[in-house]
C-alpha cells in the first residue's frame, strides 16, 4: 500500500551492491531483502568470529568459522526467496572493485577502512551511481548519500583517512546507522523524499541526539574536482 505496484516493481528491477557483510552490512542487507530489492550483491572476504555476534545479526553461534559471504547469501535468500542474492567471497580492492560494482544501481558503504571506501567512492563517481556511506564507532555513527555530479564526494567530506585503529562498536549503533542507509537506498530507488544529499548525519547514541552538518564540494578534491565541469 505504501509503495504501490509500480514502486514494488522499481525495487524489484534494482541491483544494489553492499560492500561488507558485517555490522552495517547485516541490517542493510536484511532490510533491503525484505523490501524486495530484486538483486543484492554482497561482498566480504572474512570468516564469522564469536566477537562478531553482538552486532552482525546475519550470523549465529553455529556459523562461527564459516565464510561470511556464504552464510550471508543463505540467510538473505531465506529472508526473501523471491529476490536474487549474489554473495561474493572476495577482497574489495583496486583490481576487483570495478567488476564487483559493474551491474549496480547503487553502492552501500558498509566497511570500516577508508582506503577501500575511497575505492568505492571512485567507482561510484566513474559509474555515476550513488554511494550510501555509513560509519560507526561505539555509540556514535554517521551517514550521508553521495550523488556524483550533484553532491560532495566522500573525498570532499573526508579528504584524508583517519588513523587506522581497532574500535568497539555497540550492536545498536550498527543497527541504527544501517537502517538509515537502507532507508536512503529505498528513497533513492523510489524517487521519494529528501535524501541525505549534501548533509552528513551524526548520531550520538549516548545523548540520544541526531545532528546534521552541511557538506560542500571541494574544488580541489583529488577524486571529483573538474570531473563534471561543463555538464548541463
DSSP 153-176: -HHHHSSSPPPP----B-HHHHHH
**Residue ranges covered by each domain of the chain:** 4-214
Round to whole Å and give the CA distance between 221 and 218.
Answer: 5
DSSP reduced 3-state for 140: strand
CATH code for residues 4-214: 3.40.50.720
- The mean pLDDT of 139-160, rounded to a whole number, is 96
- The mean pLDDT of 26-30, rounded to a whole number, is 98
As separate numbers, helices (DSSP H) first and strands (DSSP E) second, the chain gives: 7, 8
Whole-number pLDDT of residue 44: 97
Whole-number pLDDT of residue 229: 57
- The mean pLDDT of 199-225, rounded to a whole number, is 96
77-104 confidence digits (pLDDT tens): 999 999 999 999 999 999 999 999 999 9
- The mean pLDDT of 49-65, rounded to a whole number, is 97
Q: How many CB atoms lie within 10 A of CB 219?
A: 10
pLDDT at 129 over 60: yes
Residues in Cβ contact with 166 at an 8 Å cutoff, skipping those fewer than 6 apart: none
Whole-number pLDDT of residue 178: 98
Residues in Cβ contact with 124 at an 8 Å cutoff, skipping those fewer than 6 apart: 101, 107, 130, 131, 146, 148, 153
Amino acid at each position: 500500500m505504501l509503495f504501490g505496484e509500480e514502486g514494488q516493481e522499481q525495487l524489484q528491477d534494482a541491483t544494489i551492491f553492499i560492500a561488507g557483510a558485517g555490522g552495517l552490512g547485516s541490517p542493510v542487507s536484511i532490510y533491503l531483502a525484505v523490501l524486495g530489492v530484486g538483486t543484492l550483491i554482497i561482498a566480504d572476504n572474512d570468516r564469522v568470529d564469536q566477537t562478531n555476534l553482538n552486532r552482525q545479526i546475519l550470523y549465529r553461534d553455529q556459523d562461527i568459522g564459516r565464510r561470511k559471504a556464504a552464510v550471508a547469501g543463505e540467510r538473505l535468500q531465506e529472508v526473501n526467496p523471491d529476490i536474487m542474492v549474489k554473495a561474493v567471497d572476495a577482497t574489495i580492492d583496486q583490481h576487483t572493485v570495478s567488476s564487483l560494482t559493474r551491474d549496480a544501481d547503487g553502492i552501500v558503504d558498509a566497511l570500516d577502512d577508508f582506503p577501500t571506501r575511497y575505492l568505492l567512492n571512485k567507482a561510484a563517481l566513474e559509474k555515476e551511481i550513488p554511494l550510501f556511506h555509513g560509519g560507526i564507532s561505539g555509540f556514535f555513527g554517521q551517514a550521508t548519500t553521495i550523488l556524483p555530479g550533484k553532491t560532495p564526494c566522500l573525498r570532499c567530506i573526508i579528504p584524508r583517512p583517519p588513523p587506522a585503529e581497532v574500535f568497539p562498536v555497540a550492536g545498536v549503533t550498527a543497527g541504527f546507522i544501517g537502517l538509515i542507509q537502507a532507508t536512503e537506498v529505498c528513497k533513492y530507488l523510489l524517487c521519494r523524499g529528501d535524501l541525505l544529499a549534501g548533509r552528513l548525519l551524526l548520531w550520538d547514541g549516548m545523548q540520544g541526539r541526531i545532528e546534521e552538518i552541511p557538506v560542500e564540494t571541494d574544488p580541489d578534491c583529488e577524486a571529483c574536482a573538474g570531473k563534471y565541469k561543463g555538464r548541463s
